[in-house]
Structure 1
Amino acid sequence: MQLRQSERKQAKIKIGLQGCAGSGKTYSSLLLATGLSNGNFTKVAIIDTENGSADLYAHLGDYNVISLKPPFTPQQYVDAINICEKAGMEVIILDSISHCWDYLLDYHSSLAGNSFTNWAKIKPLEKLFMDKILQCNAHIIATMRTKQDYVLNQKDGKFIPEKVGLKSVQRDGLDYEFTLVFDVDIKHFVVSSKDRTGLFMGKPEFIISENTGKVILNWCNQGKTNQIQNTIQSTVIILSEKEVYEHIQMCNSIAELLDLYKSYPQFHNSLKPDFEARKTNLMNINNPNNFNKNGHTKFQ
Structure 2
Amino acid sequence: MNLQIRKAVRKKAKLRLGMAGPSGSGKTYSALLLAFGLGGKVGMIDTEHGSGDLYADLGDYDIINIDAPYTVKKYRDAIKAFEDAGYDVIIIDSLSHAWAGEGGLLDKQGKIADSGKPGMNSYAAWRTVTPEHNGLVEAMLTSPCHIIATMRSKQEYVQDKNDNGKTVIKKVGMSPVQRDGMEYEFTVMFDIDTQHVASTSKDRTRLFDGQYFTITREQGTQLLEWLEEGEETLQTISVSQRDELLKLLTEAGLSVRKFCQKYEIDQISSLPASLFDEAKASICEYREKKLERLKQQAAERRNAETEEECEKGEDGL
Structure-2-length-normalised TM-score? 0.64
Among 56, 62, 73, the residue aligned to 2:71: 73
| Structure 1 segment 101-250 matched on structure 2, within 5 A | 101-102=99-100, 103-111=104-112, 112=115, 113-148=120-155, 166-203=174-211, 205-225=212-232
Q: CA deviation at 1:142?
A: 0.2
Code of the aligned partner of 1:110: K
CA shift, 1:78, in A, is: 0.7
Whether the 8 Å contact between 1:149 and 1:167 is mirrored in structure 2 is: no
SS in 1 for 2:30: helix
- How big is the alpha-carbon RMSD for the aligned residues of Structure 1 and Structure 2? 1.8
The Cα of 1:2 is off from its aligned counterpart by 2.2
Aligned partner of residue 65 in structure 1, secondary structure: strand
Secondary structure in structure 2 of the residue aligned to 1:146? strand
Moved beyond 4 Å, runs of 4+? none
Match of 2:84 in 1: 86
Structure-1 residue corresponding to 2:57: 59
Contact 1:48-1:94 at 8 Å conserved across structures: yes
Q: Aligned with 2:134: secondary structure?
A: helix
Confirm or deny that 1:2 pairs with 2:4: yes
* Number of residue equivalences: 209
Q: 1:25 to 1:164 in 2, by over 3 A?
A: closer
TM-score with structure 1 length normalisation? Answer: 0.67
Alignment deviations for residues 112-169 of structure 1 (CA, whole Å, 9 cap, x no partner):
321122111110010110000000011100000011379xxxxxxxxxxxx9961211
Alignment deviations for residues 164-222 of structure 1 (CA, whole Å, 9 cap, x no partner)? 9612111111111000000000010000000111111222x100000110000000000
Aligned-pair distance for 1:225? 2.7
Identity over aligned pairs, percent: 49
Structure 1 residue runs without a partner (length 5+): 151-162, 227-300
| Distance of 2:125 and 2:144 partners within structure 1 | 32
Q: Letter of the 2:215 partner, please give it.
A: I
Contact 1:188 1:207 (C-alpha < 8 Å) held by counterparts: yes
Letter in 1 for 2:18: G
Structure 1: how far apart are the matches of 2:51 and 2:155?
Answer: 23
Report if aligned partners of 1:74, 1:129 keep a CA contact under 8 Å in 2. yes
Is 1:33 the counterpart of 2:35? The answer is yes
1:13 aligns to 2:19 (yes or no): no
Given that residues 22 and 153 in structure 2 are in contact (C-alpha distance below 8 angstroms), is that contact kept between their aligned partners in structure 1? Answer: yes
Distance change (3 Å), C-alpha of 1:164 and 1:60: closer
Q: 1:125 to 1:149 in 2, by over 3 A?
A: farther
Letter of the 2:175 counterpart: K
Structure 2 counterpart SS, 1:7: coil
Tell me how far apart the structure 1 counterparts of residues 110 and 142 of structure 2 sit (CA, whole Å): 29
Distance in 1 between residues matched to 2:172 and 2:196, nearest whole Å: 21
